[in-house]
Amino acid sequence: MRCLVLGQLPAPDLDLVRRLVPGDGAEIVVAPRNTDLAMLGDFDVIWRLFPQSSSGVAQDQLPAALESHPEVRWVHTASAGIDHLAPLFLDRGQITLTHSAGVTAVPIAEFVVARLLQHCKRLPELEQLQNRRQFEQISLRELGDLSVVLFGLGAIAAEVTRRLIPFGCRISGVRRDPSKADPPGVAEVFATADLAGACRGADALILVAPLTARTEGVINEGVLSELNDQSALVNVARGGLIDETALLAGIAKGRPAAAYLDAFVEEPLPAGSPLWNTPGVHISPHLSWSSPHLARRTSELFAEQLHRWLAGEALANRADPRAGY
């Protein structure tokens, strides 16, 4: 079989892949940017890494690759979310699409815990006191007192739960199908339609759900108004989950008290966005996934997928483009 590699980040560990999948089983071809993809021959598989960027603008080779290689039967993407890719596959039912859910779960979960600690221990205010050379007391909170709502109960939510349970947090979850068994450590599970009810009086709302037609803008005025007046909103998923106008209004009213945003409707976040200078809004440039282990984990997962493909076994992390995840 022949595999075409598109994109740049993370830099793939091709030697690791070749060690796990012998070279006589798969030929791996890396396509440099601006390559005429049609001239590279036929391919069975495309491994899509994150697109290369120029002046902050991503240049995704996948649409051109799909057009020039209709023979491809499987695409594996390094991203966990497929909302931006799903439209490419709606009319290509012959292609299997798999994603990399779980690869970034550990660093993102750690980032969530860091933001909650920042919120409870008021770290920015302590920095401000130092800058002003003021030696005064402020009241702090304990993580164990928090009631936390996880919107989404996938791999990232599992890692977040694993880290918050030792602190003593009470954790609830929200997902499309609440009839499934409750994940370990999650006290109660609500349906997406009852997200507002799940947030009633909550101290923290953590967004780790995929962006779909059903979840777009679901974090609205009604949901935010149910949070308590010391609450934190943490978004490490997709910006489109949040109605940003409603969030600005909610912050002004104190619900949530603070928002920690790592994803936005428009990225990069425009310089003119009011989110930049709204008190209580803390911005990071979509980097909660960052880890020195990303390339290894990404390559290990793809190698395992290649092994399954060559052995005729079922692939993990199969996506449903129509559902959006």
pLDDT for 94-114, tens place per residue? 999 999 999 999 999 999 999
Mean pLDDT of the chain: 94
Q: Which two tokens stand for residue 130?
A: 């130092």
What's the rounded mean pLDDT across residues 10-37? 85
CB atoms within 10 A of CB 56: 7
Reduced to 3 states (helix: H, G, I; strand: E, B; else coil), residue 40 is: helix
Question: What are residue 280's phi and psi, to 5 degrees?
Answer: 95, -10
CB atoms within 10 A of CB 51: 18
The lowest-confidence range among 34-48, 159-173, 224-238 is 34-48
Q: Rounded CA gap, 167 and 158, in Å? A: 15
The pLDDT, as a whole number, for residue 54 is 52
**What is the value of pTM for the model shown?**
0.94
In the chain, what are the domains?
2-103+292-311 (3.40.50.720), 105-283 (3.40.50.720)
